[in-house]
A and B are shown apart, each in its own frame.
Chain A
């Protein structure tokens, strides 16, 4: 947590500014990205490797619109402080859990559960409730007004 933020190099910044969306749908996408930026394919691949090694790049891939390929929900639990590490670890143990954050509130553990079906999502929540003895709030999305984390990075 206390480590310095990563400072990507010039080409990595341009890749971030330009290709958080609209990856070229061509047989040779890395070469197409390189051509758009006036560099070589090898340079693009090296910059992506560097971003990945630094932990900045999770992957080059897709984000799926919620509820279009399965079901997901935001779940919350009010966990006694002393039990937080163990309960967070239990929640993390589910392959269906993709985000899990501790937050400053009476409801202090917030996680996202995603699965191919609503039944499976609800079964995971019920199992977590049964194993912890703590109620789980099930807060599925009803309407999305904005769902885009591909935001601009203000390089300073």
Chain B
């Protein structure tokens, strides 16, 4: 959380994307009162500290043909969830893998994975293989396919408008 005011303003300015001009870091800096060299130095620092985990092309996978995505959720004992999370995360079929709290009795699941694919059949097959390979097929789980995307855009860290 220890972001400097300059770093925070830079991250917020970057939410709209890097302007496609010859010297975009200078243009970005001009919006928030920073020199080009300072913008580059701050971005390197944010990447080194892993505040930024990726800097590059941010794609919409649905438009590229990844038409199906499912959230696989599992109910694992507390002393097994971290090992299972590491195993599932290592599978290339899994794009996101998080531990989250249960909310009993409504919500018993504590491990969440996203699996993308071209269609539902492909995603179902990937999930079956994933659970078998990880030795987790017998663990209580559910698969929540996306039915409709109401909104998808980058996170915003500035004060909401």
Contacts and interface: CB of A to CB of B under 8 A. Distances in A.
B128 interface: no
B154 A92 contact: no
B155 A61 contact: no
A69 B157 contact: yes
Interface in B111-161: 112, 116, 142, 144-161
A105 B15 CA distance: 32
Contacts of B146: 101-103
A57 B99 contact: no
Interface of B: 1, 3, 8, 11, 14-18, 20, 22-26, 36, 40, 43-44, 46-47, 49-61, 63-65, 67, 71, 82, 85-86, 88-89, 92, 94-101, 103, 106-107, 112, 116, 142, 144-161
Given A25-B47, A103-B146, A148-B95, 19 more contacts: A6-B64, A23-B56, A23-B57, A31-B22, A45-B20, A65-B52, A69-B11, A91-B151, A98-B155, A102-B150, A116-B157, A135-B106, A140-B100, A142-B99, A145-B98, A146-B97, A148-B53, A149-B95, A149-B96
21 contacts: A5-B65, A21-B56, A41-B22, A45-B20, A55-B60, A56-B60, A60-B20, A61-B15, A61-B17, A62-B43, A68-B50, A98-B152, A98-B153, A100-B149, A102-B149, A116-B159, A138-B103, A141-B99, A142-B99, A147-B98, A148-B54
